[in-house]
Chain A
Amino acid sequence: MNATLARGLAGGLLLLALWEAVVRLAQVPPWILPPPSGIVATTWSARGALLDAGAMTLFEATAGYAIGAALGLLLAMLLALTTPVRKLVLPMIVLINSVPVAAYAPLALLWFGTGALSKVVMVAFIVGFTVFLNALDGLLRVDPAAVSLFRSFGAGPLGLLWRLRLPSALPAILVGLRVSTVRSMIVAIVTEMLGSQKGLGWTIFEAVLQIDFLRVWAAILAASLISLSFFATVSAIERRLVFWR
């Protein structure tokens, strides 16, 4: 794991050096592609505003993430227990989930306003689906022989869910939670771009209007760093919880 990290870092640094060199040597105009050094400098000088915007976006993403993950997991457990209901509603859920996220965003803005709520709702919606589908798959994909063993010990549906299905599904659930980290940031930013007065998405949108491309890049850098830390945190939790994999 550490070797992978080191290789990734080395690769990233190499790429940045190449980027810097090409931009300088070919004298690429900054509105097309600024050099990394310029982006870092702008990020530093605009750090106050970026920090505020980043905190807003991170709040929307994590609040929506927590709500969506909890609801998705709960729904998956309920549907794992009730086979007839599951067969009825699952196709519908899959259908709703196959519509691209951004398509719902205007509706969220219309219903929940241009404040944080619409972003939280959108993120919760997407994360909820991701976690739900992963969790349900994991909950249902248990070894039938293990189910038999539990039943021979007298376990009922709830005992099975708690002692067999949930732990068996934990790896799948955590995969869902891990990919949801980045998705939650994307959705929060995209929804901000479509309507808001705060956040990194709004910062990017505003900077584009003002043709301030260095600030666009600075906001992108901030968003990437936040997203990466969120992802790394959940990955670390995943490695601790799913220790047997």
Chain B
Amino acid sequence: MLTVGAAAGPRAKLQLNGVSRHFGAVQALAKVDLGIAEGEFVTLIGPSGCGKSTLFNIVAGLLEADKGGEVLLDGAAASLLGKVAFMPQRDLLLPWRNVLDNAILAAEIEGQPKRAARETARSMAADFGLKGFEGHYPQQLSGGMRQRVALMRTFMFDRDVMLLDEPFGALDALTRAMMQRWLLDIWSRYRRTILFITHDIDEAIFLGDRVVVMSARPGSIKLERRIELPRPRDPALLTTPEFNAIKRELLDAVEEESLKTFAAGAV
């Protein structure tokens, strides 16, 4: 059941081979190998400071990996900037743009006419629970709504691969549970390849086709666990014996790494 550094089947949508990165004397990532299949939902979990965001920045093309590693999108090693839809840890909504205009930001940068982009956004608003709020400004929205606007912005940047960096990290538990189910629903409809960072094991198992655990810094893949729980998933799943068995397995790995981070005085 447990494999380390494996690829994702015959032809990976996204493939990382030996990706490392250091900042001065700090080694943030050490030889990350990871493959993600088309349409797969992979959750990435690891102690804070282990290099998850750094990994995302590399896959988004915002940061160079150290020499020797490669990131392949559809098998090709081209520049990744503008090729994957990236949702950073903070929502970064623009206070001078209303919900609709925040959502169309990427489309607008790509040169789509505003009017057409707004029409698309308007038709998606209901899916993202934003119907009736199209004209609201970010400062008028709740945390959960802001995240949905940021997610909509990411979905509207129409790329096969989506990187979501702890999108629900700042939400309260109830809102978060609701958003998780909602995201699965959206994902089943818009069908994208998703790489999702979280520090919440329940969330990682509940959402993922596969959970990837990263080691303490320098981050590398410690283990991968395929989650064969049936979809669609509902909250009752969280209390089943199967779920708990997986959770126990993963908890051991995650705790070991968190302890290393703790001992290193990084938390």
Where the two chains meet, the residues of A that have a C-beta atom closer than 8 Å to any C-beta of B are 143, 145-146, 148-155, 159, 163-164, 167, 170, 243-244
* Docked complex Cα distance between A151 and B88 (Å): 12
- Do residues A150 and B88 form an inter-chain contact, with CB atoms below 8 A? no
Most B-side CB within 10 Å, residue of A152, A153, A154, A243 = A152
- Do residues B57 and A148 form an inter-chain contact, with CB atoms below 8 A? yes
Residues of B in contact, count (CB < 8 Å) = 23
- Do residues B86 and A149 form an inter-chain contact, with CB atoms below 8 A? yes
Instruction: Give every chain A residue within 8 A of B57 (Cβ-Cβ).
Output: 148
Residues 53-95 of chain B, each 1 if its beta carbon lies under 8 Å from chain A, else 0:
0000100111000000000000000000110101011101011
Of A143, A145, A163, A243, the residue contacting B105 (CB under 8 A) is: A163
- Do residues A149 and B88 form an inter-chain contact, with CB atoms below 8 A? yes
Most A-side CB within 10 Å, residue of B89, B95, B109 = B109
* Docked complex Cα distance between A140 and B167 (Å): 27
Question: A156 — nearest CB in chain B belongs to which residue?
Answer: B109
Instruction: Give every chain A residue within 8 A of B109 (Cβ-Cβ).
Output: 150, 153-155, 159, 163
CB-contacts of B36-50 with A (<8 A): none
User: Is the C-beta of B196 less than 8 angstroms from some C-beta in chain A?
Assistant: no
* Docked complex Cα distance between A243 and B106 (Å): 23
- Do residues B88 and A167 form an inter-chain contact, with CB atoms below 8 A? no
Nearest CB of A to B106, in Å: 4
Of B96, B110, B139, the residue contacting A154 (CB under 8 A) is: B110
| Apart from A151-B62, A153-B82, A244-B95, 16 more pairs, CB < 8 Å | A145-B89, A148-B60, A149-B86, A149-B88, A149-B92, A152-B62, A152-B81, A152-B84, A152-B86, A153-B106, A153-B110, A154-B106, A154-B109, A164-B94, A167-B94, A244-B139
User: Is the C-beta of B137 less than 8 angstroms from some C-beta in chain A?
Assistant: yes
| Majority SS at the chain A contact face | helix
Of A145, A154, A155, the residue contacting B88 (CB under 8 A) is: A145
Question: A170 — nearest CB in chain B belongs to which residue?
Answer: B96
- Do residues A244 and B92 form an inter-chain contact, with CB atoms below 8 A? no
User: Is the C-beta of B160 less than 8 angstroms from some C-beta in chain A?
Assistant: no
Instruction: Give every chain A residue within 8 A of B61 (Cβ-Cβ).
Output: 152
Nearest CB of B to A14, in Å: 38
User: Is the C-beta of B157 less than 8 angstroms from some C-beta in chain A?
Assistant: yes
- Do residues A152 and B82 form an inter-chain contact, with CB atoms below 8 A? yes
- Do residues B157 and A244 form an inter-chain contact, with CB atoms below 8 A? no
User: Is the C-beta of B134 less than 8 angstroms from some C-beta in chain A?
Assistant: no
CB-contacts of B96-127 with A (<8 A): 96, 105-106, 108-110
* Docked complex Cα distance between A184 and B94 (Å): 33
* Docked complex Cα distance between A148 and B137 (Å): 22
* Docked complex Cα distance between A170 and B61 (Å): 29
- Do residues B88 and A148 form an inter-chain contact, with CB atoms below 8 A? yes
With known contacts A159-B109, A244-B96, A153–B137 Cβ distance under 8 A? no
Nearest CB of B to A153, in Å: 4
With known contacts A163-B105, A170-B96, A244-B96, A152–B137 Cβ distance under 8 A? no
Between-chain CB contacts (< 8 Å), 7 pairs: A143-B92, A146-B94, A152-B60, A153-B109, A155-B109, A170-B96, A243-B96
Question: B139 — nearest CB in chain A belongs to which residue?
Answer: A244
Question: A160 — nearest CB in chain B belongs to which residue?
Answer: B109
Question: B84 — nearest CB in chain A belongs to which residue?
Answer: A152
Most B-side CB within 10 Å, residue of A146, A148, A153, A159 = A153
- Do residues A163 and B88 form an inter-chain contact, with CB atoms below 8 A? no
Instruction: Give every chain B residue within 8 A of A150 (Cβ-Cβ).
Output: 109
* Docked complex Cα distance between A150 and B137 (Å): 19
Instruction: Give every chain A residue within 8 A of B60 (Cβ-Cβ).
Output: 148, 152
Most A-side CB within 10 Å, residue of B92, B137, B139 = B92
* Docked complex Cα distance between A154 and B157 (Å): 10
Instruction: Give every chain B residue within 8 A of A153 (Cβ-Cβ).
Output: 82, 105-106, 109-110, 157
* Docked complex Cα distance between A146 and B153 (Å): 13
* Docked complex Cα distance between A243 and B57 (Å): 33
Of B89, B90, B108, B137, the residue contacting A163 (CB under 8 A) is: B108
* Docked complex Cα distance between A163 and B81 (Å): 18
Question: A166 — nearest CB in chain B belongs to which residue?
Answer: B96
